Amino acid sequence: MLHIKCPHCGIRSQNEFSYGGDATVKRPELNKEISDQDWNNFVYNRKSLRGKHLELWQHLSGCRQWIKVERDTATHEIFNTLKANEDIS
């Protein structure tokens, strides 16, 4: 069982959260001409590496806020959690 520290609610167990995938993916800017490849990278292509991974979770059975979690994909150690609009300094 993962224990995720929601920046709004504190430490909660994994069952309260829903996973949202890679948090480093940026949606291309609106109203700007982009290539098919850029769009493809945004929608489908992922690095998904072993080790540190910055990802989105939603505290679905809690405050319902989206948060960012920095987690190791091999050991599941959680290094850091952030509000959705915060970046790692």
Q: Which of 55, 62, 66, 84 binds another protein (CB under 8 A)?
A: 55
Q: What is the DSSP string of 68-82?
A: EEEEETTT--EEEEE
Q: Which of 5, 18, 65, 80 binds another protein (CB under 8 A)?
A: 18
C-beta separation of 23 from 12 below 8 A: no
Pick the piece of the chain touching another protein (CB under 8 A) from 26-34, 50-58, 78-86: 50-58
Pick the piece of the chain touching another protein (CB under 8 A) from 26-34, 36-44, 78-86: 36-44
C-beta separation of 14 from 2 below 8 A: yes
C-beta separation of 24 from 34 below 8 A: no
- 10 vs 44, which CB is nearer to another protein? 44
Structure tokens at 48: 């998904």
List residues binding another protein (CB under 8 A).
1-2, 14-15, 17-19, 21-22, 36-37, 40-41, 43-50, 53, 55, 71, 73-76
